[in-house]
Amino acid sequence: MSRNPEVLWAQRSDKVYLTVALPDAKDITVKCEPEGFFGFSAVGVQGESFDFTLQLLGPIVPQGCKTNVGLRNIRCSIQKEEKGWWKRLLKSEEKPAPYIKVDWNKWCDEDDEESSSDLASDDDNPEYAEDDESSDGEGMLYLPDLEKAGGNTGTPGAPKY
């Protein structure tokens, strides 16, 4: 019996991005068909089978589908046949399966696409291709220790900001 891995998705006007959370996967197979069919299968670290199929909202370009295999996940970039924003990932209007979730780290609103650093260059972007670092600090900003940097420590004569 096969299981479903967690799948995160995000989009741009020209692509859909799927990240399959499956550490140390083997025998990975990805199928993209023009009518919007996407299929995935792999074997997990303990020999268990994982697979899923999705009927995407719109048609896709199979030659424009790229897969990057990392240590902790598999990332798929799927080219849409027609440029434009999809109102949802799947053709079905039913609620998607619980293993499919929005990838808020990569999400971009339609009006933000022009101004954001475009993930469309992901195919050449090593950060997108191999993001196998621990995600514990992802999205965190580095804030220096203001006390050591001479910030306001409450001491008389210290500069006030």
- pLDDT tens by residue, 84-105: 999 999 999 999 999 999 999 9
Find the helix or strand (DSSP H, E) in which 155 lies.
none
* CA–CA dist 135, 105 (Å, integer): 11
Q: Is the pTM of this model over 0.75?
A: no
What's the Rg (C-alpha) of the chain?
Answer: 20
Taking the CB of residue 10, how many other CB atoms lie within 10 A of it? 18
Question: Which tens digits make up the pLDDT trace of 9-21?
Answer: 999 999 999 999 9
The per-residue pLDDT for 72 is: 95
Question: Which tens digits make up the pLDDT trace of 26-81?
Answer: 999 999 999 999 999 999 999 999 999 999 999 999 999 999 999 999 999 999 99
